[in-house]
């Protein structure tokens, strides 16, 4: 149904007393503008009837001429919302006829059955958008929300143009589907795939390889698309790790002007990690980032978010649904429904089908699946992770033993996901053992990433979600101490546990602590995450006892590794081999074919052959630059 047909239908459905002035397609939404919005809400079933008829997301807003002046509207909003809601900010967005209300307790702003929101709409005529205030300060969330307000005029223009494209009709139906492997096949890093039909071009993920600065190995094979960037209809992002999102701003730097679809937490985390990437690159004399801050900001203004399970149109013939992947906050499996049943495929992204303290395990139920592209990071025949509870016990015991002998513990972690998982391990132990008196220092981006987790408790496991909503966030436990003093002072002080990024010792605070702690044999460093083949972490993990580093004077110097080195396995955000096979066994419906990716050659090949042999599913491991016709 195109926009003209939608408008014609709305004139039939919307009562004349509502005085409809305009109908617009704004991105994923059909927006109805009315002179008398109270008349519309007099019929409780009207919005359901319209949405059911059009099968679209429907928003109802007041015509700009009916809006109450902001100062009068603020007074009414404050009168209607109870003080317990913890409203931290109220921002008006005239371009969208909306008012953003930031609150610690959004439920109190919404009211029972949405009554408070309805009262705000009817009395002020502004459409309220309720946003959760994180329980910890977050410059990223504040920056994202301010930027979206600041860029409202250009964003409105973008969304209207996008809406028109999505609501347009194709002259001919597509009769084939093709996927081209542009990165992350037969390797880990620079994940990227192009999904094509005769009428649509969609990119799924567009990352970098953090192991290398060499362009031919660091970035996806975008030149193999044989398309100009303005011919791409959409980019779909599974999650915010740089090997999946790190090259998206480059697209905007060189001509792409379309949408990036992701979950709401993925948007914030992508901004955090991309900004950090540019900041670090700008300090490196040997490397320059392939894009700048302006390109990241343009990406942000073009991001369109959807929650798990929400079916959205991203082209006239492709519907997208995100499902929980269990990997990091907001991580998603991508389901694409192409045509009227022409083909259904799922890109797993990075998946965790096992216990973690942060998230529910990956989803296995889909409406239809013919083709499944599957994470194979730990798909090798010997990739079996230990029991998580045994891993927790071992990590705590090793850490306490180090502190007991007067040493400091360094745990290099990824700032997003792994850090929060490790924090929960120590927080739970401390809650059960009141004599736990070892400070746990948090450095780098860990606090910022943790704050973003508190803004999206609905994406976390129920018990963590409940604690955040009860003003008892485990990320704000008294055992955690944000680093506010000199790192040397911590290194020379009393026994302590230090959690710091980066997880592979590729830079950041963890490397600084390593330089300060490595020489003392009382200290220890415990790896809890994947160490890539070329990383400093892998070299030390494999037994290197002396490394070259840069001193404070800028000169090369030698650093002896006398501290204890150990690896505590069981914390990966990826599924191991048994979990991968279990996920596939429990998938409903069973896919007709499986393609393995996001793993080295042996792991992709081994997992693929095992799937074919054990489950009798057509399966293979494509290479980068392979083009696969699916229909």
- Cα separation, 127 vs 131, in Å, equals 13
Report d(CA 436, CA 480) in Å as an integer.
12
Q: How many CB atoms lie within 10 A of CB 157?
A: 11
Beta carbons of 479 and 427 less than 8 angstroms apart: yes
What's the pLDDT at 171?
Answer: 64
In sign, the C-alpha dihedral spanning 114, 263, 265, 158 is: negative
Tell me the pLDDT tens digit for each residue of 467-508: 999 999 999 999 999 999 899 999 999 999 999 998 888 888
Per the CB < 8 A criterion, the answer to whether 564 and 549 are in contact is no
Strands 192-196 and 201-206: antiparallel
* Sequence ranges of the chain with CATH classification 3.60.15.10: 176-382+574-629
Q: What is the mean pLDDT of residues 65-94?
A: 96
Tokens of 109: 């702003």
pLDDT digits (tens, 9 = 90+) for 233-272: 999 999 999 999 999 999 999 999 999 999 999 999 999 9
CATH of domain 71-133: 3.30.300.20
pLDDT exceeds cutoff 80 at 546: yes
Give per-residue pLDDT as tens, 333-371.
999 999 988 999 999 999 999 999 999 999 999 999 999
502-544 pLDDT, tens digit per residue, is 888 888 899 999 999 999 999 999 999 888 777 889 999 999 9
CATH of 176-382+574-629, one of 3.40.50.300, 3.30.160.270, 3.60.15.10, 3.40.50.720: 3.60.15.10
User: Which residue is listed with tokens 């546990």?
Assistant: 497
Q: Determine the number of helices (DSSP H) and then strands (DSSP E) in the chain.
A: 22, 28
The helix or strand, by DSSP H or E, that contains position 227, with its residue range, turns out to be none
β-sheet bridge partners, residue 346: 335, 372
pLDDT for residue 557? 82
What per-residue confidence (pLDDT) applies to 630? 95
**Letter string b/e over residues 405-432, b meaning 16 or more CB atoms within 10 A of that residue's CB:** eebbbbbbbbbbbbbbbbbbbbbebbee
What is the location of CATH 3.40.50.10890 in the chain?
A: 390-567
Count of Cβ atoms closer than 10 Å to residue 123 Cβ: 16
Domain with CATH 3.30.300.230 in the chain: 3-65
Phi, psi of 71 (to 5 degrees): -65, -35
Give residue 226's pLDDT.
92
Model pLDDT, residue 552: 64
- Quickly count: other Cβ atoms within 10 Å of residue 524's Cβ: 23
Is the model's pTM score more than 0.85? yes
Rounded-to-integer distance, Cα 129 and Cα 303, Å: 17
Q: What is the mean pLDDT of residues 110-131?
A: 95
Q: CA 426, CA 409: separation in Å to the nearest integer?
A: 13
pLDDT of residue 170: 67
CA atoms within 13 A on the CB side of 529: 23
Give the span between the Cα atoms of 84 and 344, in whole angstroms. 46
Please check the confidence at residue 275 and state whether its pLDDT lies above 70. Answer: yes
- In 3D space, the residue among 150, 26, 137 whose CA is nearest the CA of residue 88 turns out to be 137
Enter the tokens of residue 324.
């929980």
Instruction: Identify whether 155 is preceded by a cis peptide bond (ω within 30 of 0).
Output: no
- CATH of 390-567, picked from 3.30.1490.20, 1.10.260.40, 3.40.50.10890, 3.40.50.2020, is 3.40.50.10890
Helix extents (H) in 405-523: 418-432, 446-455, 462-469, 487-491, 509-517
- Quote the CA–CA distance of 274 and 283 in Å, as a whole number: 15
| pLDDT reported for residue 169 | 75
- Write out the residue limits of the CATH 3.30.300.20 domain(s) in the chain: 71-133
pLDDT in tens, 1-40: 788 899 999 999 999 999 999 999 999 999 999 999 999 9
Average pLDDT score, the chain: 94
Share of the chain residues as helix, strand and coil, in percent rounded to the nearest 5 = 40, 20, 40
Mean pLDDT of 433-441: 92
Element (H, E) at 320: strand 318-324
Chain centroid to Cα 236, Å, comes to 11
CA distances from 406 to 24, 106, 310, 399 (A): 66, 46, 53, 11
The hierarchical CATH code for the domain 3-65 is: 3.30.300.230
Q: Tell me the C-alpha to C-alpha distance, in Å, between residue 87 and each of 95, 104, 126, 293, 520.
A: 23, 7, 17, 31, 50
Chain mean position to CA 2:
32
């Amino acid at each position: 149904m195109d926009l003209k047909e939608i408008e014609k239908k709305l004139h039939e459905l919307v009562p004349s007393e509502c005085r409809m002035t305009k109908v617009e397609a704004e991105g994923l939404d059909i927006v109805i503008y009315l002179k008398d919005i109270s008349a519309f809400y007099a019929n409780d079933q009207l919005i359901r009837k319209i949405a059911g008829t059009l099968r679209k997301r429907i928003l109802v807003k007041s015509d700009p001429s009916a809006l109450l002046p902001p100062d009068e509207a603020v007074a009414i909003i404050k009168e209607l919302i109870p003080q317990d809601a913890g409203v931290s900010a109220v921002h008006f967005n005239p371009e969208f006829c909306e008012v953003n209300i930031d609150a610690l307790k959004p439920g109190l702003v919404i009211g029972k059955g949405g009554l408070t929101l309805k009262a705000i709409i009817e009395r002020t005529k502004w459409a309220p958008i309720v946003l959760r205030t994180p329980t910890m300060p977050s410059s990223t969330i504040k920056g994202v929300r301010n930027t979206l307000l600041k860029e409202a005029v250009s964003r409105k223009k973008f969304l209207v143009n996008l809406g028109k494209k999505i609501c347009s009709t194709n002259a001919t139906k597509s009769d084939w589907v093709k996927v081209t492997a542009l990165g992350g096949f037969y390797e880990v890093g620079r994940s990227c795939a192009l999904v094509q039909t005769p009428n649509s071009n969609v990119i799924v993920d567009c990352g970098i390889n953090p192991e290398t600065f060499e362009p031919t190995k660091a970035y996806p094979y975008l030149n193999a698309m044989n398309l100009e960037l303005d011919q791409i209809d959409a980019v779909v992002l599974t999650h915010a790790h740089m090997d999946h999102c790190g090259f998206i701003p480059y697209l905007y730097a060189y001509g792409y002007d379309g949408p990036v679809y992701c979950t709401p937490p993925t948007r914030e985390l992508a901004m955090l990690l991309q900004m950090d990437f540019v900041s670090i690159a700008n300090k490196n004399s040997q490397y320059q980032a392939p894009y700048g801050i302006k390109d990241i900001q343009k990406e942000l203004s073009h991001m369109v978010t959807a929650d798990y399970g929400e079916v959205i149109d991203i082209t006239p013939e492709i519907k997208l649904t995100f499902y929980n992947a269990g990997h990091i906050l907001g991580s998603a499996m991508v389901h694409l429904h192409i045509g009227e049943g022409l083909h259904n495929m799922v890109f797993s992204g990075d998946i965790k089908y096992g216990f973690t303290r942060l998230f529910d395990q990956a989803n296995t139920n889909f409406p239809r699946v013919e083709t499944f592209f599957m994470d194979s990071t730990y798909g090798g025949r010997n990739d079996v992770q230990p029991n998580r509870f045994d891993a927790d016990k071992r990590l705590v015991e090793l850490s306490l033993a180090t502190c007991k002998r007067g040493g400091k513990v360094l745990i290099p972690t990824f700032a997003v996901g792994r850090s929060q998982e490790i924090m929960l391990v120590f927080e739970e132990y401390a809650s059960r053992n009141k004599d736990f008196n070892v400070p746990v220092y948090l450095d780098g981006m860990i606090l910022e990433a943790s704050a973003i987790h508190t803004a999206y408790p609905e994406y976390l496991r129920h018990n963590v979600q409940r604690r955040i909503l009860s003003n008892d966030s485990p990320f704000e436990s008294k055992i955690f101490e944000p680093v506010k003093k000199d790192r040397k002072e911590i290194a020379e002080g009393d026994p302590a546990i230090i959690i710091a990024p980066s997880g592979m010792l590729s830079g950041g605070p963890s490397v600084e602590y390593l330089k300060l702690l490595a020489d003392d044999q009382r200290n220890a460093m415990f790896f809890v995450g994947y160490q890539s083949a070329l990383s400093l972490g892998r070299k030390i993990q494999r037994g290197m006892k002396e490394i070259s580093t840069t001193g404070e004077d800028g000169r090369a110097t030698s650093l002896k590794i006398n501290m204890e080195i150990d690896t505590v396995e069981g914390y990966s955000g990826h599924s191991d081999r048994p979990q991968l096979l279990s996920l596939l066994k429990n998938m409903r419906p069973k896919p007709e074919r499986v393609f393995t990716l996001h793993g080295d050659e042996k792991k992709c090949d081994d997992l693929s052959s095992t799937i074919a042999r054990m489950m009798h599913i057509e399966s293979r491991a494509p290479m980068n630059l392979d083009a696969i016709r699916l229909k």
